[in-house]
Structure formats: C-alpha cells, structure tokens
Amino acid sequence: MDAVMDVEMDGVREILEKARAAGRSALTAPEGRRICQAYGIATPGEGLATSAGEAARIAAEIGLPVVLKIVSPDILHKTDAGGVLVGLRTEGEVRDGYERVVANARAHDAAARIDGVQVQQLVGGGHEVIVGAVTDPTFGKIVAFGLGGVLVEVLKDVTFRLAPVSGDDALAMLDDIRAADVLRGARGAEPANREALAGLIERVGRLVADHPEITEVDLNPVFASAAGAVAADVRIIVGEPAPEPERPSREEILRQMTRIFRPRSVAVIGASAETGKIGNSVMRNLINGGFQGQIFPINPKASEIMGLPAYRSVADVPYDVDVAVFAIPAKFVAPALEEVGRKGAAGAIMIPSGFAETGNAEGQREIVEIARRHGVRVLGPNIYGYYYTPANLCATFCTPYDVKGGVALTSQSGGIGMAILGFSRTTRMGVSAIVGVGNKADVDEDDLLTFFEQDDHTRAVAMHLEDLKDGRGFVEAARRVVREKPVIVLKAGRTAMGARAAGSHTGALAGDDKVYDDILKQAGVVRAPGLNDMLEYARTLPLLPAPKGENVVIITGAGGSGVLLSDACVDAGLTLMDIPPDLDEAFRAHIPPFGAAGNPIDITGGEPPTTYENTVRLGLADERIHALVLGYWHTIVTPPMVFAELIARVVAEERDKGNVKPVVASLAGDTEVEEACEYLFEHGVVAYPYTTEKPVAVLGAKYRWARAAGLLR
C-alpha cells in the first residue's frame, strides 16, 4: 500500500481537529470523502457544473455514466421538479441533460435561484459490500467486512480483524464470509476485483490505526466490481481516543515470571498447622509436592509449622523471598502485601477471595496499587494457586500433581481449574503448569504466554478465559508463541446467554463472540468449542507430531467407522487425500479383493494383524501422506491389545526411520479397547474408544495450529 503523503495527512488531521473543535462527532460527507481520498479509498467522482460544457467535461473526467442533480436552495424536491437525471452515458447526453435539468427547474419555479448542476459518477453494478471499523472494548480498533443487505444484517455474515490489517489478512477476509463465493462470481455474477477490495479494507485499517480519534468508519455500500471498489457512502465518527494500556517490556515480564515459576524460596502468608485451613493445605502441597527451594511459613502465633521454622512476618525472614503465597482473609492482605513488597518478592499469589468478584473493587484496586509501587506481580486474587511441575512446585490448596509433561493450562475460574486437575489425574495428562488467574487484577494471559513461550518444558498452552483485559496484548503474545507452540483457548461466554452469565460472574464485559472468534483466529489460536474439547486438545497436541502437509488418509477395519471418520474429517476441516493410482495399487496389494481402496481404505473386518501392519506401514512410509486416521474393529483375529502393540511398534519403527507423522485412532469394540487406547496413548498414538469424532477433532486442532504456525504453506 502506498504511504499517505504528508501533505494529505495534514489535511486529514485538520479535518479531524476542526470537527472536534466544533464538538461534532460525525464528519460531513465532503469531509469523509476528502479523508477517503487522502487514503486512496475510491469514492464516486463529482463536481459542480455551471454550464453544459462544464458538465460534459466533469463527466468525462470522473467517468461515465453520471447522474445530474439540480443545485438550488429553493428546490427541495429535486425529482418532482424534473431536476434529477440518472444514467447519462455519453458527453452529448450530459450536455443535453444539463439544459433539460435547468429548463425543468425553471419551468417548475421561475423564481428559484439555480447554483448549477451537480455531476456525480453513477456507481453500482458489481457487488454491494460493507467495509467498516469500530472501537472494540477488548481489542480496540477493528475492521469489519461483509456483503451488503440481508447477508450482513440478517445472517450476520461478517468478519473482523484487528486494525491495521495486512494485505494478506484483508484478502483472507474476503474468503472468511459464508457467502465468499459470491465475490468469486458465483451464479454467473461478475467477480469482484479482489486486490482492489482488499486494498480498500487495508486502507480503512490504516486510517483508523493512524488516527486514534476516529472511533468508527462506515463505508456502506461499497460497490465491488471487476473494475475496482468504490465507497458510495462514507460515514466517519470521531471521539475521545481510548487510553493505551500500559505494557511492561517483554524482558521485564520475563524476569518477574521466571522468579515466580522457578522461585528459590516461597513464603506462605498465613501458614497453618491446622488441617482444613488453606494455609495448611498450601504448606502440605509445597512440601509433599517435592519443592526443593526454601519454604518460609509466616504466622505470628507459631514458631514452627510442619517441621519448618515459622516467622511472625515476612519481614523477619532472613533470606530473600521470591514468591509469597497469601492464605489469609482479604481484609488482612494489604498490610501483609506491603511487607512482601518491601521484602522485594517478585510474585504475590493471591488465593483469598473477597475482592472484585464479591463487589469489593476498592480492595482490589488497593492491593494492585501496593504491588505496583513495589514492583510485585499479583496472581489472582480469588484463585486456587499454581503448579509448575519442572520445579516440583505445587503452590495451591488443592492436591499435588506430579505427572510432568508438555502442556501449561490456565483458568480464570477455580471450578474449571479443579476440572483441569481431575481430568489431568484421571488421564495422566503430562503437565508443565496449571495456573489460576482468577480476577486478573494484575498478571494476565499475556504475561503467562510470555513465560511459556520461552519455557522449554512447555510445548503447548491451553487457556480458559472469560474476558481479556488487554486484547491487543494477548494477540501480540499469542502470535509470538504460536510460531513454536500451539495455544488453545476456551473462551467462555460465547453466546448471548453465556455473556450474560459472565457479566454476573466477573463483571467483565464480554465482547461480541464473532469478534473474539475472528481475532483469536487471526492470532493463530486454536479455539476449543467446549471444556472437554480444551482438555482433550491439551492432552493430545503435545503428543502429536506436527503434520507436514494436508493429505490425511483413513485406514479402517470397520467400513462403518470409515464413513463416520470421513464425516468427522470434514467437520474438522481436514482434507481426505485423493490417492494417486500407484499408491492405490500399493494399498490394494495388502487388502482383500472386496475391500475398498480409495480413501477411507477399508481393509475389512476379518483381517489379521499383518493387514493392519502392512497398510499402516505403507501410510507412514509414503511421503505423500501426511497424517493417518485409524479405525479399528475388535475381532478375534486381531484383538485390541494385539492391534495396540502392533501399531505402537510400527509407529516407533517408522519414526526411527524419519517417518514422523501424526497418527490418531478410533477403537470400536468391547471394553478391552479401553486398555488398548491407554497403551496407544502411552506410545504417542492418540486413541479413543467408542467415538469416531474425538480422535479426528484433536487431529483437526493440530492442523489448525500447524497452519497458523506456517508449517503447511
């Protein structure tokens, strides 16, 4: 996109300042057009003619056909006065038209003052689309695009992006609406000039990004034809720019977060020897969890707790303190936090409730103010604490968790945190961290992403969230992380009803979900539709290797599963490979003559282990295939554990040869298939019993990430 020339930029600033000085929030149509011109956004050409010759010249310059309109302060209803002519196609017609319009006007009212005739380019044809920008409370300036009329207004067929929008993103927006084929010329319509339309979207994004005081832009309709894209109507609203949120530097975040996740010492404010107290649970979990750093119980009434010397106050601790876990009622937090701050701690883990979530916003502001003053980062308040398994750190009032692995999980709600813990334990999910963020008074998802980004123990991040305090900060952090590791997000409050509940829970304003959906996608985030999906994605994405291409092949012993697995592939946005003849031939050599090659490859039900082995090995070895979906059918000939052991072995053998591909499996059979699935999971093959949807859904999630990370271009 061409840069806006300085002189034109000055003109734009002048218009905006003039409007604001005059206390106007809406710009006039000519002001809007002038701004559009400065940004290279095409609007219909126009000019005022005071003679037939001048009208013809203007028409030639702005392009035919044109509309002529009488300009007279005395003629209110121009059409009734014969003062409007539409669709004049030649200079001659314009010349004649000028005379006719003026004559009609005079005939209508001989006394009327006539200032001339407005010559306006007649736009139309092509497709009516809407391009706009609004200021979103979570994400700031965002750009919207949709097709005009019913599609946007009734079907809400619209897509959003953060402003500014790159050229690629603008082009992607054209494909992101459901009616995208219309612009490509469906039903014999004229295809739109995609570059011109994307360019217009990009320019609108630039415009609102350049000028914080422009709060809203509405180009509606824009006529998008093969020739170009012209904004027939321009509406621009100005207002008070929203303040930029403060963001510490990445280095600063990282320094504090590293001290929080890998502390040399942890103080427990309100440590207790009494079972049932939170301060007791935290102490027990720190010790039983195997934390190797120093633990300082803080309790004014004890000299020793669980075999460790206790201190009256954190100020009395004769060592450095990295982290202070608060296990005291809300009303005692502020003075204790002052001491923690003076002690130079990096993090205050604020378990207590009784702050903003119960209406005590003032108390919450107070602790944030104290923490800021001392450079302490606050996690919470109103949380269960956090786990970081590489440091054997269980700073929570729940129970220890020790299955180390590659996924870091965070949750805004304590209940969801408990579900994460139970699910982890029952599935033996390998975890690097589980973190409660609660009210997010200070530390939020972008701080955590910044830590997990460089944490070698973390290979995927899964986050439950109800709102984002700083949408742009989140997107920025997520985009960086996604290049290397999947980021899974469960955004609660998706629906109107859900958003209402979010309102009553955290007081957070849930934005329109479509905005979240599009912008999370723009950030490369894998969005989970529900809690269980988030948990399964978290469990499986670190296990599955990244695919190197889009060719998915289904190999199944049960034809019925093959059909359902195919359905699931379409639902998950996966591409069933069109198998070339030589490969088809190669598969056929391994399966019975009445089996079906193609894709799914139906090896049929009664086959021995060798048939599974030969076909799966071929699928792993052939470079044109990028991922395998297996359908197993429990038979006496190939029992579940025989299948599991053989698949685990073949996958390992081929992996050792460099054939590293994601393999997922659906097992249909009697209860022995459950044990077989566990075995497969332990050996890096994602396998589920009694469902054809789940294995394919997680493979789809892995693909969504791989595409966002640019691995499949």
Is residue 557 close enough to count as binding a second copy by CB under 8 A?
A: yes
Binding mask 88-127 for a second copy (x = CB under 8 A): ----------------------------------------
Which of the 8 DSSP states describes residue 595?
S
Output the smallest distance, CB 314 to a second copy, in A: 26
Figure out which of the listed residues 353, 410, 611, 615 binds a second copy, where binding follows CB under 8 A: 353
d(CA 253, CA 380): 16
Is residue 531 close enough to count as binding a second copy by CB under 8 A?
A: yes
* Among the residue ranges 3-11, 62-70, 182-190, 265-273, the one whose residues contact a second copy (CB under 8 A): 182-190
Which of the 8 DSSP states describes residue 596?
B
Q: Which of residues 134-173 bind a second copy (CB under 8 A)?
A: 147, 149-151, 153-155
d(CA 194, CA 133): 19
Output the smallest distance, CB 505 to a second copy, in A: 4
Q: Which of residues 440-469 bind a second copy (CB under 8 A)?
A: 464, 466
d(CA 176, CA 671): 43
* Among the residue ranges 17-25, 190-198, 292-300, 567-575, the one whose residues contact a second copy (CB under 8 A): 567-575
Output the smallest distance, CB 321 to a second copy, in A: 28
* Among the residue ranges 103-111, 310-318, 386-394, 669-677, the one whose residues contact a second copy (CB under 8 A): 669-677
Interface with a second copy (CB under 8 A), residue total 97
Binding mask 300-319 for a second copy (x = CB under 8 A): --------------------
Q: At what angle do helices 167-176 and 194-210 cross, to 10 degrees?
A: 120
**Closer Cβ to a second copy, 82 or 559, answer by number:** 559
Output the smallest distance, CB 466 to a second copy, in A: 6
d(CA 37, CA 159): 25
Figure out which of the listed residues 40, 498, 609, 684 binds a second copy, where binding follows CB under 8 A: 498
Output the smallest distance, CB 588 to a second copy, in A: 13
Output the smallest distance, CB 127 to a second copy, in A: 10
d(CA 49, CA 92): 15
**Closer Cβ to a second copy, 485 or 694, answer by number:** 694
3-state SS, 243-283, equals CCCCCCCHHHHHHHHHHHHCCCEEEEECCCCCCCCHHHHHH
- Sign of the Cα torsion 139, 145, 151, 152 reads positive
In angstroms, how far is CA 415 from the centroid of its own chain?
23
Output the smallest distance, CB 600 to a second copy, in A: 5
Q: Where are the beta strands (DSSP E) in 329-389?
A: 347-350, 377-379, 385-388
* Among the residue ranges 34-42, 110-118, 298-306, 486-494, the one whose residues contact a second copy (CB under 8 A): 486-494
Output the smallest distance, CB 449 to a second copy, in A: 20
Figure out which of the listed residues 132, 205, 400, 414 binds a second copy, where binding follows CB under 8 A: 414
* Among the residue ranges 84-92, 160-168, 256-264, 552-560, the one whose residues contact a second copy (CB under 8 A): 552-560
Is residue 542 close enough to count as binding a second copy by CB under 8 A?
A: no
Is residue 181 close enough to count as binding a second copy by CB under 8 A?
A: yes
Q: Which of residues 574-633 bind a second copy (CB under 8 A)?
A: 576, 594, 596, 598, 600, 602, 605-606, 631, 633
In angstroms, how far is CA 91 from the centroid of its own chain?
53
3-state SS, 662-704, equals CEEEEEECCCHHHHHHHHHHHCCCEEEECCCHHHHHHHHHHHH
**Closer Cβ to a second copy, 503 or 545, answer by number:** 503
d(CA 226, CA 224): 7
Closest residue by Cα to residue 633 from 556, 554, 536, 547: 556
Output the smallest distance, CB 34 to a second copy, in A: 30
Binding mask 37-76 for a second copy (x = CB under 8 A): ----------------------------------------
Figure out which of the listed residues 139, 423, 516, 703 binds a second copy, where binding follows CB under 8 A: 423
**Closer Cβ to a second copy, 356 or 541, answer by number:** 356
d(CA 628, CA 646): 15
Give me 218's structure tokens: 């509405």
Is residue 560 close enough to count as binding a second copy by CB under 8 A?
A: yes
d(CA 391, CA 396): 14
Figure out which of the listed residues 15, 192, 208, 416 binds a second copy, where binding follows CB under 8 A: 416
Output the smallest distance, CB 155 to a second copy, in A: 6
Q: Which of residues 5-34 bind a second copy (CB under 8 A)?
A: none
Output the smallest distance, CB 50 to a second copy, in A: 35
Figure out which of the listed residues 25, 79, 358, 610 binds a second copy, where binding follows CB under 8 A: 358
Output the smallest distance, CB 563 to a second copy, in A: 4
Residues 68, 74, 78, 82, Cα dihedral to 10°: -80
Output the smallest distance, CB 88 to a second copy, in A: 21
Between the alpha carbon of residue 564 and those of residues 555, 568, 594, 643, 690, the distances in Å are 12, 6, 20, 20, 12
Binding mask 378-407 for a second copy (x = CB under 8 A): --------------------xx--------
DSSP readout, 93-148? HHHHHHHHHHHHHHHH-TT----EEEEEE---SSEEEEEEEEEETTTEEEEEEEET
Which of the 8 DSSP states describes residue 35?
H
The residues, any chain, with a CB within 8 Å of residue 652's CB and separated by 6 or more, are 683, 684
Q: Are 49 and 94 in contact (CB under 8 A)?
A: no
Region of 645 please: left (phi>0), alpha (psi -120 to 50) or beta: alpha
Give me 1's structure tokens: 């996109």
